[in-house]
Structure 1
Amino acid sequence: MMPKLSKGQKQIARYIVEHYDKAAFMTAARLGQAVGVSESTVVRFASELGYEGYPQLQRSLQELIRNRLTTVQRMELTDEQLGGGDIVDRVLTMDIDKIRRTLEEVSRADFSRIVDTLLNARTIYLIGIRSSASLASFMAFYFNHVFDNNVRLVTSASTSDVFEQLLRIQEGDVFFAMSFPRYSKRTFTAMKFAKERGATTIALTDSSLAPIAEIADLRLYARSEMASFVDSLVAPLSLINALIVAIGIKRKEETSRAYAELERIWDRYEVYTKADDGEH
């Protein structure tokens, strides 16, 4: 579209191409200042590209580039976005916004289908690699209480280990993968393998542009725009909480029996410290 753009809009376009890592996180006013044009010119530029407004252009650009940013680039953006301010306030406020936007955007129909799919699975395989490993571990911890010995947490010490753990995956099984920028290639290849073996595949990720979203049978999206070089996983974790609660309600009797037995075990082997023990 470059030939159709005005002189000022061409300057904006060139700046975005050459400094995409910074432009994606600039307000319209800051981008205009950096380029040497007015804020209104930036807004008209977004409209010229077919967006409703600049925020939509900005979010689209962020989704496209997030997986390309190196940790060094993330550190530079952290300093620009958060340096010198109230970091606690900024980071927690941004996390609250991610949960709010996830709540507004998540498909209730897809959520219900995923709950039913998990309830009817022969075996559930859960995978999350690198920062997403914490999500998979949390989910597996509670799923092992709710389901009857048919949950497998796939760990990722090496590529061969992943496929060895998926050796018996087949039709009737569910492969549930969690992947957020920067997307793990190993998670993507593991999902392809599971899909080829006939398993139903579910993706929990941040965008339809994520590699696993493109091949999954079912998808849930949770916002995870970075506040810094650290991945923000509060919204995905909240969505996982919702899945666990929904499944627990559907399997109320089985879940109640399981926790009654667990309480007896925890009490017998003193798993938890009691308030009147005098030890904290």
Structure 2
Amino acid sequence: MILSRIRNKMSDFSKNHRLLAQFILDNSKDVAFMTAAQLAQKIGVSESTVFRFATQLGFQGYPDLRSSIQDEMIESFTVTDREQAYTSTSEENDLLLKGFQIDAQAILEAAAKINRADLYEVADMIVHAESVYVAGERSSNALAHYLCFYLSWLLPHVHHLNPDYALEKMINLSPRTLVISITFHRCIRNVVETLALASRLGLPTVAITNGPSSPLAKKPRKF
């Protein structure tokens, strides 16, 4: 876990890195949605210091560190935490509004983090694919079916791909077939392996996942 790793390495850090580390440990829920510039300004260090801190922890850059913190926050968001988030007010109408506010905030945060160039590239890949296969399991299975349903309104050859039978389905597919895999926190191994198999077969691939630290995002054409 990234926060434990930061605690364990505290004695190895320089003065500025210790300031960063302590701030992250004390304010991890805020840091999870800060840019490098915002974090640097808050601590009073340079952005390059934030970048070096992330690389010292083994990340390619600050976005990967932030994504790892986000993952840990979600993993530690217990049932009790969720209940408290939704029951901070006692009135039933306020509870409903609170639920909408939490969802709206999550959507805004996602919109702020999406790379528009990646989004347009994925749209172009979908439009120009000879056929599209979408894989997902468990909670992501519903999203895979949902995406298939609406893409099929626009494109003639859109299929749901069951990861259990991915090899049989993909072995003879055209190289212009696009494979989309969807999975989020606690990534499902079958879905990750489906994308890896598609890559080995030379098929263009798209990953829809929670962030750069996701196992699914390590594959080509990540999104």
**Which TM class, normalised by the smaller chain length?**
0.5 to 0.7
Aligned mates of 2:117, 2:198 — CA distance in 1: 24
* Residue 50 (structure 1) aligns with: 50
Q: Give 3-state SS (helix, strand or coil) of 1:81's partner.
A: helix
Q: Give 3-state SS (helix, strand or coil) of 1:180's partner.
A: coil
TM-score, scaled to structure 2 = 0.66
Match of 2:117 among 109, 125, 133: 109
Structure 2 vs 1, CA of residues 66 and 164 (structure 1 numbering), >3 Å: closer, same or farther? farther
- Long gaps (5+) in structure 1: 28-42, 220-280
Structure 2 vs 1, CA of residues 88 and 177 (structure 1 numbering), >3 Å: closer, same or farther? same
Give yes or no for the alignment of 1:172 onto 2:176.
Answer: yes
Q: Which amino acid aligns with 1:50?
A: V
Compute the displacement of 1:162 (Å). 3.4
Aligned mates of 1:181, 1:192 — CA distance in 2: 18
Give yes or no for the alignment of 1:201 onto 2:210.
Answer: no
Give yes or no for the alignment of 1:190 onto 2:197.
Answer: no
**Residues 114 and 218, structure 1, Cα contact 8 Å, conserved in 2:** no
RMSD between aligned residues: 3.6
1:235-263 per-residue CA deviation (whole Å, 9 max, x = no partner) reads xxxxxxxxxxxxxxxxxxxxxxxxxxxxx
Q: Percent identity?
A: 17
Compute the displacement of 1:98 (Å). 2.3
Superposed, 1:1-280 pairs within 5 Å as 1-3=9-11, 4=14, 16=25, 24-25=28-29, 44=43, 50=50, 60=67, 62-65=69-72, 69=75, 74-85=78-89, 86-148=94-156, 150-156=157-163, 159=164, 161-219=165-223
Aligned mates of 2:210, 2:182 — CA distance in 1: 9
**Residues 67 and 213, structure 2, Cα contact 8 Å, conserved in 1:** no
1:94-124 per-residue CA deviation (whole Å, 9 max, x = no partner) reads 2112222333332332222222211221221
TM-score, scaled to structure 1 = 0.54
**Residues 124 and 176, structure 1, Cα contact 8 Å, conserved in 2:** yes
**Residues 203 and 213, structure 1, Cα contact 8 Å, conserved in 2:** yes
**Greater CA radius of gyration, 1 or 2?**
1
Q: Which amino acid aligns with 1:120?
A: H
Number of equivalent positions? 185
The range that moved more, 83-92 or 94-103, is: 83-92
Structure 2 vs 1, CA of residues 87 and 166 (structure 1 numbering), >3 Å: closer, same or farther? farther
- Long gaps (5+) in structure 2: 1-8, 32-41, 52-62
- Whose RCO is larger (CA < 8 A, sep 6+)? 1
Structure 2 vs 1, CA of residues 186 and 101 (structure 1 numbering), >3 Å: closer, same or farther? same
Which of structure 1's runs of 4+ aligned residues deviate more than 3 A? 23-27, 43-47, 58-62, 79-84
Aligned mates of 2:68, 2:133 — CA distance in 1: 33
